[in-house]
């Protein structure tokens, strides 16, 4: 690997996690990025509103953006937490862990009421998955799933502050050096990039007492991976192909590898304007880079400083024909529950339509009953089994903090409105 060691001249291991200084979105292109983020957020909200599971990858990328819609993001988090213990979930556990951590929450114990001890202990599960993969590589020469999943597990564990035994580190490095992570001899930019990010996290987490030869081995392996990724760079700045470039940029940026990032950024922004990243999963791979962040920033986020500065506007409504309503039910009497959901409905839908859609999406939290009062219309008598008593308790609806005086059958919410149902006491 002597020729690969020359790549070390490109590296400055500063132990920091932000992009190379000139790899930024030009000021005059920031409006394009804002519109892009809004479109991806709306797409994910619509998906969840139609009863589908949110993408952990998309939620994670939105959390790494510089602009936020805090209510919608919180709603997406709650749906992720509901699905994380589901054996049929669509994303790997590591992605859920990374997404939950991006909300400044400790993912080491995730609530899972359906389990015997009410928690999903993710750390031992991830370590077990990783060990099975490494054993399979040792005996069969290939992983059970993929090298990409392996290094995603490593990254999730590393960002939770977990320590790896020397044998595991050696096995990881051997799997890279021996197999070079390609399939059938073909280079995988995505896999190499994820390996770089995970191994960089691992290298930064090593204590000063760690043997020097381990540090040297990690650096040598990283240099080989950099050489492979840089070798795929095209004249337009893309690495591999358009959809591999976002992850490659993260991998190179966290290690301050010098390359012409300006050209790459110009190409990505042009492709965004042409609609190349309208698919939310594809978009999730470049959103962190557009925001000047990488996956290694996940455990450095200051969520209390997040600005609520990404609203869904009326123009978004007109283009999609739908509105998005944030619906929350709160027991203010006994404080037994506070549940929220994101509902997407056609323009002109009533508040009753919102309640019906929420109940269909999550009946255990939003089921309700009504009573028809002559000359007054429908009144909600119970939500989540909590029944009003005309002489003691009742359900009241609010738009934000303002009480609604119109009935649920007549009130028409606007796009982005926050509807709250409160169980109150006389």
* Residue numbering of the annotated binding site: 190, 241, 404
Q: Output the six-digit token pair for 301.
A: 């986020």
Other Cβ atoms less than 10 A from the Cβ of 354: the count is 26
C-alpha 200: how far from chain center: 21
Q: How far apart are CA 210 and CA 171, in angstroms?
A: 16
- Vertex 253, ends 251 and 259: CA angle to 5°? 105
Cα–Cα separations (whole angstroms), residue 221 to 151, 176, 178, 227, 408: 14, 7, 11, 10, 62
Q: How far apart are CA 68 and CA 140, in angstroms?
A: 45
What distance separates the 2 farthest-apart alpha carbons in the chain? 87
Q: How far apart are CA 319 and CA 73, in angstroms?
A: 22
Q: Output the six-digit token pair for 295.
A: 């996956």
Cα–Cα separations (whole angstroms), residue 347 to 151, 362, 419: 44, 22, 16
The four Cα atoms 248, 253, 256, 258 give a dihedral, to 10 degrees, of: 60
Output the known binding site for cyanocob(III)alamin. 190, 241, 404
Half-sphere exposure (CA, 13 Å, Cβ side) for 68?
A: 23
Query: What are the φ/ψ torsions at residue 138 (nearest 5 degrees)?
Result: -65, -35
The string of DSSP codes covering 14-41 is ----S--TT-S--GGGHHHHHHHHHHHH
Q: How far apart are CA 288 and CA 297, in angstroms?
A: 9
Q: Output the six-digit token pair for 62.
A: 């939105």
Q: Is 406 left (phi over 0), alpha (psi -120 to 50) or beta?
A: beta
């Amino acid at each position: 690997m002597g020729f690969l060691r020359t790549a070390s001249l490109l590296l400055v291991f500063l132990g920091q996690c932000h992009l190379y200084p000139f790899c930024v979105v030009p000021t005059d292109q920031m409006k394009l990025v804002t519109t892009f983020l809004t479109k991806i957020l709306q797409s994910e909200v619509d998906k969840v509103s139609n009863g589908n599971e949110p993408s952990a990858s998309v939620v994670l990328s939105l959390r790494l953006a510089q602009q936020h819609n805090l209510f919608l993001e919180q709603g997406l988090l709650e749906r992720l937490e509901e699905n994380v213990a589901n054996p049929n979930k669509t994303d790997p556990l590591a992605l859920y862990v990374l997404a939950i951590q991006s909300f400044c929450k400790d993912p080491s114990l995730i609530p899972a009421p359906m389990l015997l001890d009410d928690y999903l202990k993710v750390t031992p599960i991830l370590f077990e998955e990783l060990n099975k993969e490494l054993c399979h590589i040792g005996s069969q020469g290939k992983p059970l799933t993929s090298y990409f999943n392996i290094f995603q597990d490593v990254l999730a564990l590393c960002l939770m502050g977990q320590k790896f035994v020397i044998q595991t580190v050696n096995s990881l490095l051997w799997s890279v050096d021996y197999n070079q992570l390609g399939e059938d001899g073909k280079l995988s930019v995505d896999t190499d990039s994820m390996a770089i990010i995970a191994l960089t996290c691992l290298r930064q987490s090593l204590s000063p007492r760690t043997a020097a030869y381990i540090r040297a081995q990690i650096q040598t392996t990283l240099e080989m991976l950099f050489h492979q990724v840089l070798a795929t760079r095209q004249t337009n700045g893309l690495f591999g192909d358009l959809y591999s470039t976002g992850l490659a940029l993260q991998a190179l940026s966290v290690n301050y590898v010098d390359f012409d990032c300006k050209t790459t950024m110009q190409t990505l922004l042009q492709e965004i304007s042409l609609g190349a990243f309208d698919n939310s999963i594809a978009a999730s791979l470049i959103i962190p880079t557009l925001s000047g962040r990488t996956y290694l920033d996940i455990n450095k986020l200051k969520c209390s400083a997040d600005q609520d500065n990404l609203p869904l506007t009326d123009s978004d409504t007109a283009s999609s024909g739908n509105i998005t309503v944030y619906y929350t039910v709160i027991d203010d009497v006994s404080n037994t529950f506070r549940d929220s959901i994101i509902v997407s409905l056609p323009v002109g839908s009533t508040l009753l339509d919102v309640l019906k859609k929420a109940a269909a999406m999550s009946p255990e939290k939003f089921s309700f009953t009504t009573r028809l009062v002559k000359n007054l219309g429908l009144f909600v008598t119970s939500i989540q089994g909590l029944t009003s008593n005309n002489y003691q308790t009742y359900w009241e609806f609010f738009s934000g903090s303002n009480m609604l005086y119109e009935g649920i059958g007549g009130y028409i919410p606007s796009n982005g409105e926050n509807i709250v149902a409160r169980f109150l006491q006389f």
